[in-house]
Amino acid sequence: MEPSTFKIKRAFLVPFITIVGLLGLLLLLSFFKGQSWEKIVLAASFAGTLFVGIEAVTREIIVTKDGLKIKKFFRVKNVTWPDVTHLAVVDLNKKVYFLLTTTKGFYFFSNMFENHPLLIRSIVDKLDAEKVEVEVSNYLEHPIERRSLIVICWLTVAIIIAFIILKLLSA
């Protein structure tokens, strides 16, 4: 089996990275025409979203014949198939989280990964039936796409662009 790599959806990453860039531009503009509280709020917002953006871009799950490799910001966790004790799913109205319990701890991941039904199917195929909750199989029959977060990101992009225009026009 060739390793399969799953990353966060581009449909989410594009607007989110755009938000980071626009917040950086707004922060830069506030250094020229801004009040001190505005600079502080924008700097904190930019730093927080930059960190989350880096985390989202670097996050990936690699499924191999031997196990999983879960890559996060400056961390890599290797999980072998015998170490996995349970796979569960929590459905919170379009927000779906998968809980992978192992002998070394537990790992959460969401349906924001590209082609997440294939990811879950790849994991389920490697595990014994008693380690997989029935709800996981039910989910695979009717996977849920989470689009609301993507829409919210694009709305945020529009709002930040409006703030940048207002900042430029308030000369």
> What CATH number should be reported for the domain holding residue 12?
2.30.29.30
- The pTM for the full model equals 0.86
Q: Within 10 Å of residue 34's Cβ, how many Cβ atoms?
A: 17
Residue 113's CB is within 10 A of a number of other CB atoms, namely 20
Q: Output the average pLDDT for the chain.
A: 92
Question: In the structure, what pLDDT confidence band is assigned to residue 170 with cuts at 50, 70 and 90?
Answer: confident
Q: Can you tell me the distance from the alpha carbon of 77 to that of 139, in angstroms, rounded to the nearest whole number?
A: 26
Please, which pLDDT band fits residue 11 given cuts at 50, 70 and 90? very high
- b or e along 8-28 (b: 16 or more beta carbons within 10 Å of the residue's beta carbon)? bbebbbebbbbbbbbbebbbe
Q: Is the pLDDT of residue 71 over 70?
A: yes
List pLDDT tens digits, range 100-141.
999 989 999 898 999 999 999 999 999 988 999 999 988 999
For 41, the domain range is 4-169
Domain count, the chain: 1
Q: Which helix (H) or strand (E) holds 61?
A: strand 60-63
Please give the radius of gyration of the chain, using alpha carbons only, rounded to the nearest integer: 20
Q: What are phi and psi of 145, to 5 degrees?
A: -95, 140
Helices then strands, each counted (H, E), the chain = 5, 7
SS3 content of the chain, % helix, strand, coil (to 5): 55, 25, 20
